[in-house]
Amino acid sequence: MKKLFLLFALATMTISVYSCRETTEEKSEEAVEEIGNDIESGAEDAAEEVEDAAEEVEQEIEE
């Protein structure tokens, strides 16, 4: 009976650890995707600001 109880406890712990690993893996993938999106958005914003600054410099030079 004692062995049966220990086997059941071990199986339960194994299943719980496995399910937590899947959840953590999914959250990590989502976080990496969000970071990539943030970087892409930041790069686009920076490019727009550089273009705006270049246009302002050109206007200043023409005047």
What's the pLDDT tens digit per position in 8-32? 888 888 877 776 666 777 888 888 8
Q: What is the pTM of this model?
A: 0.54
CA-based nearest residue to 61, from 3, 12, 53, 30: 53
Share the mean pLDDT of the chain.
Answer: 84
Report whether pLDDT(58) > 80.
Answer: yes
Q: Binning pLDDT at 50, 70 and 90, where does residue 61 land?
A: confident
The total number of residues shown for the chain amounts to 63
CA-based nearest residue to 14, from 24, 6, 26, 2: 6
Report the C-alpha gap between 27 and 37 in whole angstroms: 15
Which has more confidence, 40 or 18? 40
pLDDT at 34: 92
pLDDT at 62: 79
Number of C-alpha atoms within 13 angstroms, CB side, residue 53? 6
